[in-house]
Structures are given as C-alpha cells and as structure tokens.
Chains A and B, each alone.
Chain A
Amino acid sequence: MKVLEFEDVSYSLGGHKILERASFSIRKGDFVGMIGPNGAGKTTIVRLALGIIKQDSGRIALFGKSASEFAEWGKIGYVPQKAGFDQDFPASVFEVASMGRSAKMGLLQRFSEKDRKVVEEALGMAGVLHLSKRKIGSLSPGQQQRVLIARALACEPEFLVLDEPTVGVDAKAQHEFYSLLEALNCEGMTILLVSHDVGAVSRKANKIACVNASVKMHDAKEGIEEALACAYGEDFRRIPHHHD
C-alpha cells in the first residue's frame, strides 16, 4: 500500500521553480531518508505532503486518497525542525506532547484517561517521561526535540514525517534518536526522514530519496554513491572517517 505518492508535482514560489514534475512514492513499512542540498525542495515536499501548502500542478495522495480530500490526519505524525516555537511559551512537556493527541480527538471531545496513558507512553518511548512537569523552554535542544517526537507519537501515527529533526542535537542524543526511529520502523511504522546527515540516513533508512527540484529513489544499501551524486552532483567528495 502506498502511504504517500507524488505524481508530476510542481511548485514554484515568487517565480522560482522549487519542484518540477516530482514523482515518487513511499510504501507502508518503508524508512525513507530524504537528502539533497539546501534549497533543493526537501522541506517543500514535506509541507506539500502535510497539506500546509498546495502544489501548482500534479497529484499528491496520502493513504490512497487525494491530499485535498484526505482527512485522517491522526494517521500522520510530524516532527518539525527545532525552535519553531517561542522558548518562553508557558507549556509543560506533558502539555506539548498532549497537543499531538489533538489530531486524534474531535473538536469538542474531552481528554480521557486513555489519552493520558497514550501521551505518557509516547513520552516514555522518547525517553522524556521524567521531564513531564518541566517547562518546555527550560529543556536542552536535544530534550526539546525528543518532546516533539513524543508529540508526534502521541497520535499513534502510521506514518512519521521528520524534517531535519537532529539539527542542534548532540551526537549521543542523535544516536539514541536514530535508534528509536529504527525500532519504530521495525514495529511497522512508515518513516520519512529529511536530513543532512547522509551517513545516518544511509545506515538507518532502506530507501534514499534524492531531491534536487525532482526526486529520485535509490536503494539505501546498494545505491548510496549514485544517490549522493544525484543529490549533490558528480563533484562531491566523501571523507571516510569514524568516531570512537
């Protein structure tokens, strides 16, 4: 089953073409890493997929339904780039994670005991349950990012979309974060991860989507060199190194 499908999608902003006839699909259970240079259109693809902006032409479908008709937003969890909110906002970690539940709840529905348990489980999976009562702005960038992941998990999504979620997060937290994504994918969750971290993407994802105005899909295990050349051009250089 196709969870997300782009068919000849074009999008331009202020006369500048950002996406041109982009076509690709993500199937249930896929872990897709999306890479590409700055301005290639990665975030635009995420925003189009989530219905935040509308394409100029082409077709976008979510879970087999046209994006304009799609209404089951509770099936999708979204983790934005960090610092999208006011650091002085008076919201506790629990309240922020609970926001993710809003997508599952009707407008007038009350927050039930079951909702509370799901939010606590999501906080536990993201490793921040012990911080529930803290003010969100008082946490480190890495901890904040985990709370945003808990918020996305709180709607019990089938499809998790993450837009450069590890910017500003330290190496240890990044490692734990990618392990969490791997575990979620093993449990059957479909994942789209937009990232500049080519190394992590090639290790964890099973498909790589290269974005450079259009989109090309590659197998993560066999096509990494081809994928990098496609995204960053033939002149890119890899510097092999490892950390202890």
Chain B
Amino acid sequence: MLDIFQYAFMQKAFAGGILAALLCSTIGVFLVLRRMALFGDGLAHISFGGVAAGLLLKIYPLASALAFSVIAAISIQKLKQMKIRGDSAIAVLFSFGLALGVVLASASGGFGADLMPYLFGSILAISDADLLAIILIGGTTLAALASFYRQLLYASFDEESARASGIPVERLNALLLVLAAITVVLSMKVVGILLVSSFIAIPATIAIRLSKSFTQALAASAIVASASVAAGLLAAYYFGVSAGGAIVMALALAFAASLLAGKEGNP
C-alpha cells in the first residue's frame, strides 16, 4: 500500500490535503457553531471571481482570490452590523462573486480550462508554490486561532456575556471571518470551490454532534477531515476516481456513520 508514497505528487497531495483539512475542520467548528456553515460556500464563490480576475490580470490566482475573499468577509461583517441578516449578506456577495467570475471569464475570450482546477480541485497537481502557501499562510492561520482560542470560544458560546467580560467581540468576529476567508482560498486548490463548504461544514457537524467538550470537538473534526483526505486520495490512486469528489464522498459516509453512532450530547 505504501507504494502510493513513492510519487512526489502524492506526497504533496497528502501534505497539502491534510494541512487544508486541519485548517478547514478547525475554523469549521467555530463557523458551524455560529450557524454560519454556508459562509465557506459563499466565500468560495466570491473567490471564484477573484481567481477569474487573477487569470485575466495574469497574477497568481490564489493571491487575487485571497484579496477578494478577505474583502468579502469584512463586507459581510459590515453588512451584519448594518442589521442585514447574515445569510442575506452571504447570498448577495455569493451571487455577485459568481457573476463577476463568469463575466470576467467570458470577457477574456476564454480561460475556462484554467478555471476548472479551482472549481473542482486539483489535489493531485499541487505545485510547490501552492504547498508553500498552505504551509506558511495555513500555519499562521492555525497559530492565530490557537492564540485567540479561549476568547473565540467564549464569544461563540455566549456573545453577550463575553462582551460583558470586556472581550472585544466585534474585533474577534472580524478576525474569525478573515481567517475563514484565508482558509477557503487555501483549500480551494485542494477540493475545489464547489466542494469547499462541505470540507468546512461536514467534519465540524460530525464532531459537534458527538463531542462532550470543545477540545474534543476540535480534535474529532480534525481527525474526520484528515482521514477523509487520506481515504479520498487512496480511492483516487487505486480506483482512478476524482480525488476531490472522493474526499467529499468519504466525508458524507462519515456523516452517515455518525448518525448511526449514537445519541448526541451523551453526558
């Protein structure tokens, strides 16, 4: 079985995939608990506009996608402060980002083929630059989450009490959304824009359902996400199926298994 690791592209796929899995599954726990599971999906579609803009302007597409995604995350936070419902704010930017991507792609006379890896993921073709970006930016994102972990937990559990304890809730919420934007863009290359939200939402949903503590939920989410990456890559190698699709199929199977696994919230 270990012959899979003799190929450099597979080594990169495992390294990049598992790092992206750790990122998505960690940020996913915070987003799902705040009932923002579709936030990742919204940002992924906005990033599509960013990728198209990058391809058109001939700059590194992940960089332009990151800029679009961070601006969108801050805009969603501002719209929420203006009393626009969170799901409505995501829906508006979601449509705009997707439409922008389509308009830019059609105006350029076609770089449709270049967009495909971002839509469906190209985990088996992760470049050294992509891997380096995931290691550096992803590592920084995880470090930021670890640094503000207690305050983020308090603000997620009981926002009003956290505010009463002097925790800067608005700034922490903005930080979380920006970290989510970075996570979405980095994961795009692994599972693709269309599948990023399942990568964020499914492991977290399984973990929240089965865990008795927050640290347990974070660990379970990370294990489910990483195991699904490994399962998807093995399926891609041995059965010749799409790696991104196989990863999400593995996540869906894990979710189904979690439904059978037992009652939620066991004391």
Contacts and interface: CB of A to CB of B under 8 A. Distances in A.
B216 A90 contact: yes
Interface in A84-100: 84-92, 94-96, 98-100
B165 interface: yes
A74 B167 CA distance: 10
Contact of A90 (B148, B151, B217): B217
Q: Which applies to chain B's interface (DSSP): helix, strand, loop or mixed?
A: helix
A95 B264 contact: no
B20 interface: no
Interface residues of A, number: 38
Contact of B166 (A74, A87, A95, A137): A74
A85 B33 CA distance: 11
Interface stretch (A21-29, A104-112, A171-179, A196-204): A104-112
Interface in B149-201: 150-151, 153-154, 156-158, 160-167
B258 interface: no
Given A90-B208, A102-B150, A133-B212, A84 B161 contact: yes
B33 A86 contact: yes
B166 A103 contact: yes
A102 B165 contact: yes
A135 interface: yes
B264 A88 contact: yes
A92 B165 contact: no
A85 B157 contact: yes
Interface of B: 33, 147-148, 150-151, 153-154, 156-158, 160-167, 207-208, 211-217, 264-267
27 contacts: A50-B163, A50-B164, A52-B164, A76-B164, A78-B164, A78-B165, A84-B158, A84-B160, A86-B33, A89-B157, A90-B33, A90-B213, A90-B214, A92-B212, A96-B157, A99-B150, A99-B158, A101-B150, A102-B154, A102-B165, A103-B166, A107-B147, A107-B148, A111-B150, A133-B212, A135-B265, A138-B266
8 shortest interchain CB distances as A-B pairs: A73-B166, A103-B165, A138-B267, A92-B213, A50-B164, A90-B217, A90-B211, A99-B154
